[in-house]
């Protein structure tokens, strides 16, 4: 199994990247999330998942191990192949995908082309209990760099003994209603609602 590829980026496209490593160019299928994270650096590292089929060996590349782990969870669901899983990760951010699964949001998963109601329900049913138990923490994936206010508020609530998942959802809702709030204001508002 190839765990990662670290080398010179020869070509970058929203659907794939070619990375030269040790004189060999590796063609990796990537999600839009990974594409946006690659930047224009010549040297890059992608975490990989190798799919071996009768007629091909296909590499999938991810900018973060958490995204790769979510991809592996998705392809473990009956009827969800690697291309469909990659489409899910391209249509929704990894954190949005995890939230949709954990919260049972069928509509969010159905917004992905090729995912119908039955497929969305199967994904939720198969993975709802696996994601939190697996320790997969996608809360901060694709979060803006300046999201320290949210992180500090979440850390404070967890330190006070509140559930991380519940607190994270509550903080997200609070920040949507008042985007320029300080950490203290967010914590005070959250404590009133917990």
Q: Decide which of 126 and 179 is more confident.
A: 126
Whether 140 maps to a domain, the answer reads: no
Q: Decide which of 59 and 113 is more confident.
A: 59
The band of 154, judged by pLDDT with boundaries at 50, 70 and 90, is confident
100 contacts 128 by C-beta, under 8 angstroms: no
Whether the pLDDT of residue 139 is over 50: the answer is no
Residue 2 pLDDT: 87
CA distance 16 to 144: 24
CA distance 128 to 136: 12
Model confidence pTM above 0.85: no
Compute the C-alpha angle 152/154/156, nearest 5°.
Answer: 70
Q: Which domain holds residue 93?
A: 65-133
Residues 120, 82 within the same domain: yes
Instruction: Give the sign of the dihedral formed by CA 150, CA 68, CA 102, CA 115.
Output: positive
Burial class (CB in 10 A: 0-12, 13-18, 19+), 52: exposed
Q: In this structure, what CATH number is given to the domain that contains residue 178?
A: 1.10.8.10
The structural domain count of the chain equals 3
């Amino acid at each position: 199994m190839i765990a990662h590829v670290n080398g010179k980026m020869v070509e970058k496209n929203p659907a794939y990247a070619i990375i030269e490593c040790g004189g060999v160019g590796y063609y990796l299928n990537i999600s839009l999330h990974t594409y946006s994270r690659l930047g224009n650096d010549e040297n890059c590292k992608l975490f990989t998942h190798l799919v071996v089929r009768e007629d091909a060996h296909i590499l999938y590349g991810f900018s973060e191990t958490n995204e790769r782990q979510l991809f592996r969870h998705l392809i473990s669901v009956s009827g969800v192949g690697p291309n469909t899983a990659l489409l899910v990760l391209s249509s929704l951010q990894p954190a949005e995908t995890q939230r949709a699964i954990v919260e049972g949001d069928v509509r969010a998963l159905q917004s992905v082309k090729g995912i119908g109601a039955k497929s969305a329900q199967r994904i939720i049913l198969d993975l709802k209990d696996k994601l939190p138990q697996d320790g997969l923490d996608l809360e901060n994936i694709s979060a803006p760099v300046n999201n320290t206010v949210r992180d500090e508020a979440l850390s404070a609530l967890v330190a006070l003994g509140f559930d991380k998942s519940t607190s994270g959802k509550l903080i997200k809702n609070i920040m949507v209603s008042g985007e320029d709030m300080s950490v203290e204001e967010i914590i005070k508002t959250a404590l009133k609602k917990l």
